[in-house]
């Protein structure tokens, strides 16, 4: 699927049209939740020929699906738990994503595992990685990444000069893959819309429509206008991640799925602070620590702690940040300090609650249930296996529809921008000459848009000033901000700086230095006047100030209280009285 085939836009006009269509007709399925699983369900259902709607209370991927470690991986630690099926399934998905579904968005990344014990550790880790490589060949697919290799301490220091010589005895290097998680979700939603799905952000589910015991749709509130409307559907899918229990309460009755939130935080530091040609992976007493290459930066994470405070804006505390710095500094010759930290982000993993009190021991496998007629719920899992979760959820929808529905075909459906990507990559020097942009800019655009690069270049051709980089975030062109508003569903400044680009975590100013310029670029496509531009900039600035202040607090409670001091640009509707909401259901 390429720009030439008319990939759907997610601009303001398309949002309005999607809401009108959702209100005007009964759909086969409506999906609540615009993260990776909800987007996957929408795409899976649309490519099976079903009529589909999707609503998201905030921006697409604004929760867990923009705050992950940004890895597509099998999960090495699950091998130790002897969960071979989960690892094999995830590695199959990794291969599909690399080779077929999204080669423009998912790419291989190497990791070095420093060994700290003589004797037993090398054969133990080596055997695990050999099994990991072998499982990656299952189902007749190629791995898509090189196999592992053993390194002496001297060889490892050539690859990672920043390692402290006394901190390790040798190393093993292996490969996984990485992705810009929020961009992936948005691209999947554009693909779903191209196949006929109606999608809209900042539309909150506030109640369910009922006919007796059967769920027949969702009552939603358009948070941009305050208008409420009924979206009727033969099946409803709850794919809300850490909000799963909240939606279960809205439908009434005892829930069949219970999800516990686990907080993971990540730090972003400039690439020159750690001299290395590869990422790093290390064990900690609580989790696994990654140092992940990310353009001109490193992402360092993660933590794994229980979280029962605000789900929309989990806050990172000083203790979280110091924990990661202490762990990574244990192997670095030149330690990092808080002054090296450009960005910090915190996300919540939706873990299926079990007997264990430790979130690191809860299940990453997923569950699909049909708690009441007309309602399907899917929860758990991880980013890498979103497509399997989505297919299972739509299988349940098909069962509820009581009609013949074709099997899932998303393993054969490239995402928007994938088809033709390799040919364009091979032609990048020619594209640079014809566009007047440096080849490095073309490579950057291809790795973000794939074959949809034509649409971005068309904006620049129409207005050459959009070919200039943003003043204060020169990795990104001005055209990318405009494109985020016209094609990618960015309805507010925060969407563009936090999820369509990563300026909010890739600059020491965290986006405040480019906020005015970016807001003015978005004003035209979104119809903002000067007052709205000012409001967008003020909100964004207050959000950054609140996040910075929260990261100076010692406890989760203190950090959460301060982070919540920044208002929402579009307030999410307050929770309605559940009894009243149910009493008004049709």
Q: Residue-wise pLDDT tens for the chain (586 aa)?
A: 333 457 999 999 999 999 999 999 999 999 999 999 999 999 999 999 999 999 999 999 999 999 999 999 998 888 888 888 889 999 999 999 999 999 999 999 999 999 998 889 999 999 999 999 998 886 666 778 999 999 999 999 999 999 999 999 999 999 999 999 999 999 999 999 999 999 999 999 999 999 999 999 999 999 999 999 999 999 999 999 999 988 888 877 556 678 889 999 999 999 999 999 999 999 887 778 999 999 999 999 999 999 999 999 999 999 999 999 999 999 999 999 999 999 999 999 998 875 344 444 445 588 899 889 999 999 988 999 999 999 999 999 999 998 899 999 999 999 999 999 999 999 999 999 999 999 999 999 999 999 999 999 999 999 999 999 999 999 999 999 999 999 999 999 999 999 999 999 999 999 999 999 999 999 999 999 999 999 999 999 999 999 999 999 999 999 999 999 998 888 665 544 333 433 444 3
348: buried, middle or exposed (CB in 10 Å: 19+, 13-18, 0-12)? buried
Rg (the chain; Cα; Å):
23
Report residue 358 as tokens.
């430790």
Q: Are strands 305-306 and 259-270 parallel, antiparallel or unpaired?
A: antiparallel
- Cα separation, 543 vs 345, in Å, equals 13
Q: Which residues contact 566 (CB under 8 A, 6 or more apart)?
A: 539, 542, 543, 545, 546, 547
- With contact defined as beta carbons under 8 Å apart, do 318 and 554 qualify? yes
Is the dihedral angle over the CA atoms 512, 517, 520, 522 positive or is it negative? negative
- With contact defined as beta carbons under 8 Å apart, do 558 and 316 qualify? no
448: buried, middle or exposed (CB in 10 Å: 19+, 13-18, 0-12)? buried
How many CB atoms neighbour CB 4 within 10 A?
Answer: 12
- Cα separation, 194 vs 6, in Å, equals 8
Is the dihedral angle over the CA atoms 153, 155, 156, 162 positive or is it negative? positive
The conformation of residue 323, written as its DSSP 8-state character, comes to H
pTM over 0.75? The answer is yes
Distance of CA 184 to the CA centre of its chain: 7
The conformation of residue 573, written as its DSSP 8-state character, comes to P
Judged by phi (left if over 0) then psi (alpha if -120 to 50, else beta), residue 136 lies in alpha
* Among candidate residues 485, 487, 482, 477, the one with its CA nearest the CA of residue 435: 477
């Amino acid at each position: 699927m390429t720009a030439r085939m008319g990939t759907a836009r997610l601009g303001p006009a398309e949002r309005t049209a999607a809401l009108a269509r959702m209100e005007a007709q009964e759909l086969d399925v409506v999906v609540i939740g615009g993260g990776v699983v909800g987007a996957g369900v929408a795409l899976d259902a649309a490519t099976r020929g079903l009529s589909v709607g999707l609503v998201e209370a905030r921006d697409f991927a604004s929760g867990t699906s923009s705050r992950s470690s940004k890895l597509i991986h099998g999960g090495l630690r699950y091998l130790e738990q002897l969960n071979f099926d989960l690892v094999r399934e995830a590695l199959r998905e990794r291969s599909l994503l690399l080779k077929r579904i999204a080669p423009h968005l998912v790419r291989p990344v190497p990791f070095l595992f420093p060994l700290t014990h003589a004797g037993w550790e090398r054969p133990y880790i080596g055997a695990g990685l050999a099994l990991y490589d072998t499982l990656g060949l299952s189902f007749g697919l190629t791995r898509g990444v090189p196999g592992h290799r053993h390194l002496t301490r001297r060889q490892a220091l050539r690859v990672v000069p920043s390692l402290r010589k006394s901190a390790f005895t040798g190393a093993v290097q292996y490969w996984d893959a990485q992705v810009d998680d929020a961009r992936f979700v948005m691209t999947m939603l554009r693909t779903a819309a191209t196949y006929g799905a109606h999608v809209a952000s900042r539309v909150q589910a506030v109640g369910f429509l009922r006919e007796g015991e059967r769920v027949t749709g969702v009552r939603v509130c358009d948070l941009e206008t305050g208008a409420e409307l009924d979206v009727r559907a033969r099946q409803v899918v709850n794919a809300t991640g850490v909000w799963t229990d909240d939606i279960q309460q809205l439908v009434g009755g005892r829930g069949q799925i219970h999800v516990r939130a686990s907080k993971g935080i990540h730090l972003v530091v400039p690439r020159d602070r750690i001299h290395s040609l590869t990422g790093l992976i290390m064990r900690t007493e609580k989790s696994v620590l990654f140092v992940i290459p990310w353009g001109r930066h490193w992402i360092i994470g993660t933590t794994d702690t229980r979280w029962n405070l605000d789900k929309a804006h989990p806050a990172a505390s000083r203790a979280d940040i110091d924990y990661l710095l202490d762990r990574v500094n244990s192997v670095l010759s030149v330690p990092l300090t808080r002054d090296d930290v450009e960005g910090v982000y915190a996300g919540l993993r939706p873990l299926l609650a079990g007997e264990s009190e430790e979130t690191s021991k809860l299940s990453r496998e997923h569950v699909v249930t049909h708690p009441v007629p007309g309602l399907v719920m899917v929860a758990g899992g991880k980013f890498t296996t979103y497509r399997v979760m989505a297919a299972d959820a739509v299988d349940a929808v098909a069962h509820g529809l009581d009609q013949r529905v074709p099997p899932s075909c998303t393993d054969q459906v490239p995402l928007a921008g994938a088809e033709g990507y390799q040919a364009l990559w091979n032609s990048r020097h020619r594209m640079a000459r014809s566009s007047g942009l440096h080849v490095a800019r073309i490579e950057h655009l291809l790795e973000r848009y794939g074959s949809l690069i034509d649409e971005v270049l068309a904006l620049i051709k129409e207005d050459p000033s959009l070919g200039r980089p943003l003043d204060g975030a020169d990795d990104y062109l001005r055209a990318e901000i405009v494109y985020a508003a016209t094609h990618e569903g960015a309805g507010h400044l925060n969407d563009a700086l936090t999820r369509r680009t990563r300026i909010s975590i890739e600059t020491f100013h965290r986006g405040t230095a480019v906020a005015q310029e970016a807001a003015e670029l978005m004003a035209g496509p979104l119809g903002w006047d000067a007052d709205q531009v000012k409001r967008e900039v003020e909100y964004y600035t207050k959000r950054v100030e609140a996040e910075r202040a929260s990261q100076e607090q010692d406890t989760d409670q203190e950090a959460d209280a301060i982070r919540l001091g920044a208002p929402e640009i579009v307030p999410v509707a307050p929770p309605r009285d559940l009894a009243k909401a149910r009493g008004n259901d049709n």
